[in-house]
Structure 1
Amino acid sequence: MNLAVFRDIVVNGEPIPSTAIAAEAQNHSAPRNKPGVAWRKAAQALIIRALLLQEALRRGLTAEPEELSPGRVETEEEALIRVLLDEALKIEPVSEAAVHAEWARRPERYRSPPLWDVSHILCACDPRDEAARTAAEARAKTLLTRLDGDAKGFAEVARESDCGSKTAGGHLGQFGPGDTVPEFEAAIRDLPEGGVSPAPVLSRHGWHILRLNAIAPGQVLPYDTVRPRIAEALEKAAWARASRDFVARLSDEAEISGASLAPV
């Protein structure tokens, strides 16, 4: 990235070096071949940090870094920003009425995880080995053309699977979200009940032909069960709104050159 094409950024007389923005940009996503998007996101993040630290200094705040997790302790700047936000943001407790109203808006959103009953045929390979991957894919495609689409036909072809489940017609049993590799789960979610994957699916284990035998949709959970989750979500949303408003006020009162906090 050519740092010379970007203007210097100054927040209330405090410069933010291009090198700092370039380093921060590594933490922000951007469309391919558009590094300027990551740069602007990084610049905004550092502008906000500068505004918050300047406000903490203005208020004469001090803070002791806290342990966030085993082996992870706040930096002094993170601690100062935490103390500032704790002092500046006044969040009203979420009322029972607000929690209930959010739940009542669409109770069907709050369900137990679904269960999928799945069978598969595995053509095993190491995906990192190009030759093995190509050969296994060709074999999987050949097997796929032999399927009738029904469970009996699938079980017959599954005898040629490289998975131990071949003795049970490829049947893997039931599992839910997070019980298998992500690429496997994503493909299952796209299948209708009784459907077979239209093309082999690659995972770290090789190529899979998948069949969704049945699905048990998650059950709608009672209000008392989901109430803590809803209350927490509403509290986080209120905190996020308050913090955005606080930063906006600091920005309105600040002198910022070289960038803005306008949405990227």
Structure 2
Amino acid sequence: MTPNPDQALMVNGIEIPAAAIAEEAQNHPADNPDAAWSEAARALAIRAVLLAEADRLSIEAPVIEDEKGRTLLPDDARIEALLDQEVTTPHADEATCRRYYEQHIDQFQSPALVEASHILFSAPQDEPGRYTKAELRAIDTIAELKEHPERFAALAESLSACPSGKQGGNLGQIGPGQTVDEFETFLFNLEAGQMCPVPVKTRFGVHVIKAGRKIAGETIPFEAIQPKIADYLEESSWRRAVSQYLKILIGKAEISGLEIEGSDGLLVQ
């Protein structure tokens, strides 16, 4: 349900003013005002429920600093203290981390690398005449290199619009995500020493690509990644526990003007 700005939002008999929701909505960018209003109302309702529980448990505001060294406001500090007191999660021990590591071993591979060289014929894609001319030049260059592959570096130096032309077209080692998708699709499917038999078209222009030495990815040792796995598992466990805790509190609260089931997102900012 989308909250109605004209309908009062009540939490345990206390009204959250529309003005407060409108101000909070600035922290919840959305595609439309209703969605922003809904998220803001939800955030303030959750906040009110947590503060009410902190009141019930007589939790005072400790001095807490955020990651930037700024002291939290009293209500924010009380919510942090409440969650710290009431939400407990297990420590991710070595056995738990190792089990996750073995079950998700594909996630812990260093990327494969390919030494790449290219010759770029620069042309904007929104100018078909120039782009076609660049493609034809690339086709002619590929034909010449099929006859004389030893000329690649010399042709790159004389023809390429890329600064790498001064190094014979050498781009160094390329890993996934380091260049545009079209370039990588062809590059990573070439054998070491193979030139792509067709021009490769990207938004930068048209490329003649040659693959060099290929370096296979390696599995990252468990010992090197264990701390990050532990942090991930403990963070995930904490978020699930907080979500469940919120659902319990919300189930006990009296809320009108908003349908709410708890939160899986960031709770304290």
TM-score (norm 2): 0.71
Q: 2:138 aligns to what SS in structure 1?
A: coil
Instruction: Select between 4-13 and 207-216 the one with higher mean Cα deviation.
Output: 207-216
**1:139, distance to aligned residue in structure 2 (A):** 4.1
Query: Could you say if the C-alpha distance between residues 47 and 105 of structure 1 is closer, same or farther in structure 2, counting changes exceeding 3 Å?
Result: same
1:60 and 1:189, CA in 2 relative to 1: closer, same or farther beyond 3 A? farther
2: CA distance, partners of 1:111 / 1:174: 17
Aligned 1:156-195 pairs, distance under 5 A: 156=155, 159-176=158-175, 184=179, 191=186, 192-194=188-190
Question: Paired residue for 1:10?
Answer: 10
Change in 2 beyond 3 A, CA 1:123/1:147: closer
Deviation at 1:23, TM superposition (A): 3.5
Residue 25 of structure 1 deviates from its aligned partner by 3.2
Larger displacement relative to structure 2 (239-248 or 155-164): 155-164
Is 2:199 the counterpart of 1:200?
no
Partner of 1:259: 258
Q: Structure 1 residue 251: deviation in Å? A: 0.1
Give unpaired runs (5+ residues) of structure 2.
147-151, 191-195, 264-269
Corresponding residue of 1:226: 225
Equivalence map 1:41-190=2 (5 Å): 41-70=39-68, 72-119=70-117, 121=120, 123=122, 139=130, 142-148=133-139, 152=145, 156=155, 159-176=158-175, 184=179
Query: Deviation string for 1:149-187 (max 9, x for gaps)?
Result: 969588747844443212234332124468x6xxx4566
Distance 1:39 1:101, change over 3 A: same
Helix, strand or coil for the counterpart of 1:146?
helix
SS of match in other structure, 1:104: helix
CA contact (8 A) 1:159 1:170 kept: no
State the partner residue of 1:242: 241
Does the CA contact (< 8 Å) of 2:246 and 2:262 recur in 1? no
Structure-2 separation of matches of 1:251 and 1:241: 15
**Paired residue secondary structure (1:60):** coil
Instruction: Flag the 1:172–1:90 CA change in 2: closer, same or farther, 3 A.
Output: same
Counterpart contact for 2:113–2:175, Cα < 8 Å: yes
Structure 1 residues 38 and 166: CA distance shift in structure 2, 3 A: same
* Residue aligned with 1:108, SS: helix
Which string of whole-angstrom CA distances, capped at 9 and with x for unpartnered residues, describes residues 51-77 of structure 1? Answer: 112211222212244332446442322
Unaligned runs of 5+ in 1: 125-131, 202-206
Give the percent of matched residue pairs that are identical in Structure 1 and Structure 2: 33
- Tell me the distance in 1 between the aligned counterparts of 2:199 and 2:236: 39
Compared CA separation, residues 242 and 160, structure 1 to 2 (3 A): same
Q: Is the 8 A contact 2:54 2:78 kept in 1?
A: yes
C-alpha contact 1:197 1:209 (8 A) present in aligned 2: yes
**SS of structure 1 residue aligned to 2:164:** helix
**Residues 193 and 212 in structure 1, CA contact (< 8 A), matched pair in contact too:** no
Greater Cα offset, 153-162 or 213-222 = 153-162
Farther off after superposition, 62-71 or 10-19? 62-71
Computing the radius of gyration from Cα coordinates, the structure with the larger value is 2
Deviation at 1:238? 0.9
Q: Name the Cα RMSD after superposition.
A: 3.8
Distance of aligned partners of 1:142 and 1:221 in 2 relative to their CA distance in 1, 3 Å threshold: same
